[in-house]
Amino acid sequence: MAEFIAWVLVLAIAAYACAGGTDYGAGFWDLLAGGAERGKRPRWLIDHAMAPVWEVNNVWLVFVLVIMWTGFPTMFQAVFSALWLPLALAAVGLVLRGAGFALRKPTRRLARRRIYGAMFAVSSLVTPFFLGAVLGGIASGRVKVGTTAAADAWANGTSVLAGLLAIAATAFLGAVFLCSDALRFGAHDLVDYFRVRALIAFGAVVVLALIALPVTRDDARYVWDGLTGGLGLLLIILAAVCGLATVLLLLRRSHGWTRYTSVASVALTVGAWGCAQRPYALPTSLTVAEAAGAAHTLRWLMIVTAIAIVLVGPALVLLYRLDTMGELEELTDADTGAVRAAGDDL
């Protein structure tokens, strides 16, 4: 049972990495889009692509936390005690990011939109870095039950590389999705713009992964072994195949499947990490079975999850379907009858 819930947790993390990751990636490209003029078109696309789905994508994180404290309370306590600072910074990043994005849309003055935009873009970089660093800290075995908050738990090679990899992966996902979105919204000039960026981001992922190989070999030995052998290696290879397939499709400009292959590569990587860590929740000090909460609760957690999938699944499919069919559109001033007021820049 605990094993099963642990897989649900890994799936939720994978879902957040893919859904939330795409949004972080969009924020990353928003940051690099250049000044107000040069970046206008990419930002327009990013806004339109993210707007209907970013709130939903964000909720996966809440779900990850809830499964953690309900299913594995000991592990939750250990992680939040040992990795206090990166988690606190990630939380602050989440506030700034969401607020920046949400407030930028209805704001009319250019100066203010610049501030909100900068808030959104910078925290899109900071948040995944710290969340990645947290995963790195856990994978390196530095978090044990009773570890107090210390910089060592997250300021180390493995954590930093995991954080950078998280940024690169989100940038990759974001660019791939924006590529398809540009096509969908008929902004053909932006297709190539994001195609190049997707390829660069993939290159960054590969380079970082290659650097990570020797650096983490001794630092995170247990997970390293898991990722370079057995089922973990198989999943990593599959992830690499999916990533390469994405690149090939991008090069051939056939964008139909790129979103699926890029998501698959990230999800498979998360899955490989889950495999590599088995049977530990916190590598080499706390197994999943030891960390698990009461059996009765786990059973109910599973029931609640099953009911929720039945309820939420169709709604989620509907949302993504309506979104990709272009049926979702923001209300405009024409709909709410607003007029331009003095001082509006736009």
Minimum distance, C-beta of residue 185 to another protein, in the bound complex (Å): 6
> Which residues, other chains included, contact 295 with Cβ-Cβ below 8 Å and sequence gap of 6+?
1
Part of the chain binding another protein (CB under 8 A), chosen from 158-166, 216-224, 256-264, 316-324: 316-324
276 to 315, contacts with another protein by CB under 8 A?
293-294, 296-298, 300-301, 304-305, 307-308, 311-312, 315
**144: DSSP letter:** -
Minimum distance, C-beta of residue 79 to another protein, in the bound complex (Å): 7
Whole-number Å distance between alpha carbons of 170 and 165: 8
Whole-number Å distance between alpha carbons of 157 and 117: 31
Read off the amino acid at residue 67. Answer: I
Report which of 60, 98, 52, 59 is spatially closest to residue 318, judged by C-alpha positions.
52
Q: Which is nearer to another protein, 92 or 240 (CB)?
A: 92
Whole-number Å distance between alpha carbons of 114 and 89: 22
Minimum distance, C-beta of residue 276 to another protein, in the bound complex (Å): 24
Let me know the angle formed at the C-alpha of 140 by 135 and 145, rounded to the nearest 5 degrees: 85
> Which residues, other chains included, contact 99 with Cβ-Cβ below 8 Å and sequence gap of 6+?
116, 119
Let me know the angle formed at the C-alpha of 129 by 94 and 149, rounded to the nearest 5 degrees: 85
The answer to whether 252 contacts another protein (rule: CB under 8 A) is: no
Q: Which is nearer to another protein, 268 or 286 (CB)?
A: 286
144 to 173, contacts with another protein by CB under 8 A?
148-149
4 to 63, contacts with another protein by CB under 8 A?
36-38, 40-41, 44, 47-48, 51-53, 55-56, 58-63
Minimum distance, C-beta of residue 122 to another protein, in the bound complex (Å): 13
The answer to whether 316 contacts another protein (rule: CB under 8 A) is: yes
Among 95, 155, 234, 248, binds another protein (CB under 8 A): 95
x-or-dash pattern for another protein, window 210-229, by CB under 8 A? --------------------
Among 110, 196, 207, 213, binds another protein (CB under 8 A): 110
Whole-number Å distance between alpha carbons of 275 and 231: 7
Minimum distance, C-beta of residue 99 to another protein, in the bound complex (Å): 4
